[in-house]
Structure 1
């Protein structure tokens, strides 16, 4: 398995994965908007995407956004997406992506990685705990317009 940073040539495969990630979280399929979103992130360099390649196919990805913690007074990464194609789940792809994210976080002097997952996504929660992520004492809220 190869884990590496995504490039513009990965966009067609990433569009499929990201669209499936969005559908997993009950969002409408919209490949053109996903493509535009990905291209803008890469063009502006305001996210970091790692991809997993297995059997010469892009089978998973994770996307990080830089941020800061006022409480810790440190730079952090927000792990916004982690998605593996259904056919390739259970093969350690997510673990390897997460391991790369943690290494990258140390390399870039970020002191924390924050992430969210669905309350019902028990397999992801199990993996995060296994790798060393912990629940916080904070409750997550969102305001939609």
Structure 2
């Protein structure tokens, strides 16, 4: 067994063991149209964390409202007793040409500072994976900043493996939702 395969197996065993030890106090639920304001507040925190400059303060809310209304993404919220709704995750459905099946992209996962170290991030991540398995999805892909070592530790502890691919992006400027 290669070193990477052994690490994957060890990570999966850790995931299987820790899956039964999730913090039962954290409640993860799917966001609906009534949750847009709450989700948008967290989304703005996420954008601030990644230093994204948003000119229109209503744009994050409008973006999430449109994704939820059109069922274009799965938005999950994490509620922690005594802290409120402290985290969110947003997943986009995609296709994998290499596996000839569906895949999910965990595009956003964020826990507000007041909810960190409560298990909310782990609970969100596990719920994404649970729903992906139930949907028969081939896998879940995510990316994070090189210096976000806290998130990287969580992802790796939950069985994610760093790929050896380079990610490229070609910025086409500010596209509006009408442009696609």
TM range (shorter): over 0.9
Higher-Rg structure is 2
Distance 2:140 2:89 in 1: 12
Distance 2:118 2:162 in 1: 25
Q: Any conservation in 1 of the 2:91–2:107 contact (CA below 8 Å)?
A: yes
Partner of 2:44: 19
Distance 1:90 1:74 in 2: 35
Tell whether 2:151 aligns with 1:124.
Answer: yes
Q: Any conservation in 2 of the 1:16–1:31 contact (CA below 8 Å)?
A: no
Structure 1: which 5+ runs fail to align? none
CA shift digits 1:32-64 (9 cap, x unpaired): 101110111011101001100113621101000
Q: Any conservation in 2 of the 1:60–1:84 contact (CA below 8 Å)?
A: yes
Which of the numbers 159, 167, 172 marks the counterpart of 1:140? 167
Distance 2:112 2:45 in 1: 8
Greater displacement, 127-136 / 53-62: 53-62
Alignment of 1:79-90 (within 5 A): 79-90=106-117
Tell whether 2:60 aligns with 1:52.
Answer: no
Q: Any conservation in 2 of the 1:74–1:110 contact (CA below 8 Å)?
A: yes
**Matched residue SS, 2:58:** helix
Greater displacement, 23-32 / 9-18: 23-32
Partner of 2:32: 7
Distance 1:92 1:31 in 2: 29
Give RMSD over aligned pairs: 1.1
Alignment of 1:65-76 (within 5 A): 65-76=92-103
Runs of 4+ in 1 over 2 A off after TM superposition: none
Partner of 2:13: none
